[in-house]
Structure 1
């Protein structure tokens, strides 16, 4: 069966950076499922698979097309129940929903301000124009003005991870002794920052860094296939 994952990247097609894509990369690796990667830029997304999606990741699994990282995880869990579970049961799905909401509202909204110009600078010119127009409309200010707010965001970002730090005193992963999709949800935005930006998001010695390094090592180092910026 041909399995293709459409991923978001910049001018360097070998460096997919979308946090949502990385959730799916690790989900597929967790399930032990091979796939080929099809990198696309922002402006290519509307035309892939005959305009099947407005977002990536998009997974083609044989004849099935599934978009959205959480929906892909649910699809993999239902379609391949004989493979290692991404949720560990219905309770794990509910936990992952909460963690995704926390990650989107807390981590993503902070990190995007911190690394916004880093993302822009790694795009092809046609995607830079789209990115500038769409993000300035979203934020109601220039990219440069948003980046200025990122300076203060960087100072307070580490504190937003205190719930994870407290949990890591008791167990190595959010999933317990082994990772679940919930771990990949939080891994995604930190991998996003690692790939596009040279900014130091967390200080050395932070337990979150130790957890992140463990996640990078998972599944034969799937997260390390793209080097840090």
Structure 2
């Protein structure tokens, strides 16, 4: 049964950049599943699957339509129990939920502050208008004023990753000896930054950078198929 994954793109439809879509991509590859990527710009998201939802990723598998990267991972885990597990049980699922919340606070906020205008520059004109209008309403300020690349901000971000570094001293992946969905949650955010922006906040020999390189190599280099900005 064919699988379709709707993914967010800018004017270059070959460069999906959404962190949530990358979580779903990596989950599909972890399960060893083939899929067809369907690129969707911002202003077309509301038309996906006849208005099924207003965010992507959305996965179509036969009659099933699933939205939200975590829900997609749970769906794949239930639908394909005999393939490699994304969570390794309920404890791993709960841990992934914690990682999702932690990374939203500490990593997503940094990527937004560093790369918002870079993301804006990747869009078609109609999507730029939509992006500026909706994001400025959300932030209550101009996009340009959201961006913060002050060295002190970079240092603060680096310090916030210390829990990851301590974990990666003991094991190669957040999930343990092998990668799991907890890794793909964090990977998606760093991949978002890698694809959209030239900002590189960590040194190559940082253990988090080394972890990210290992994740880029997973599944025949799935993450490297899209070149860095």
Asked if Structure 1 and Structure 2 have the same fold, meaning a TM-score greater than 0.5 normalized by the shorter chain, the answer is yes
Task: Determine the C-alpha separation between the residues in 2 that align with 1:105 and 1:90.
Answer: 23
Shift of 1:156: 2.2
**Residue of structure 1 in register with 2:93 after alignment:** 93
Which consecutive residues of structure 2, in runs of 5 or more, have no partner in the other structure?
none
**Residue of structure 2 in register with 1:116 after alignment:** 116
Task: Report matched runs for 1:181-196 at 5 Å.
Answer: 181-196=181-196
Task: Report matched runs for 1:1-229 at 5 Å.
Answer: 1-147=1-147, 149-151=148-150, 152-229=152-229
1:3-47 Cα offsets, whole Å, 9 max, x none, are 100000110000000000000100000000000000111100001
Do the aligned partners of 1:27 and 1:86 also contact (CA within 8 Å) in 2? yes
SS at 1:120 equivalent: helix
Do the aligned partners of 1:110 and 1:157 also contact (CA within 8 Å) in 2? yes
Shift of 1:154: 3.0
Shift of 1:150: 4.1
1:159-213 Cα offsets, whole Å, 9 max, x none, are 1211101111100001110011000001010000000001122122111111000
Shift of 1:225: 1.0
Task: Determine the C-alpha separation between the residues in 1 that align with 2:62 and 2:53.
Answer: 17
SS at 1:66 equivalent: strand
What number of residue pairs does the alignment pair up?
228
SS at 2:161 equivalent: helix
Change (3 A) 1:150 1:133: farther
Task: Determine the C-alpha separation between the residues in 2 that align with 1:91 and 1:181.
Answer: 12
Task: Determine the C-alpha separation between the residues in 2 that align with 1:163 and 1:155.
Answer: 15
Which consecutive residues of structure 1, in runs of 5 or more, have no partner in the other structure?
none
Q: Which runs of 4+ in 1 moved over 4 A?
A: none
Q: How much is the aligned-residue C-alpha RMSD, in angstroms? A: 0.9
1:94-144 Cα offsets, whole Å, 9 max, x none, are 000100010112211121111000000001111110110111111110001
Moved more, 153-162 or 200-209: 153-162
TM-score (norm 1): 0.97
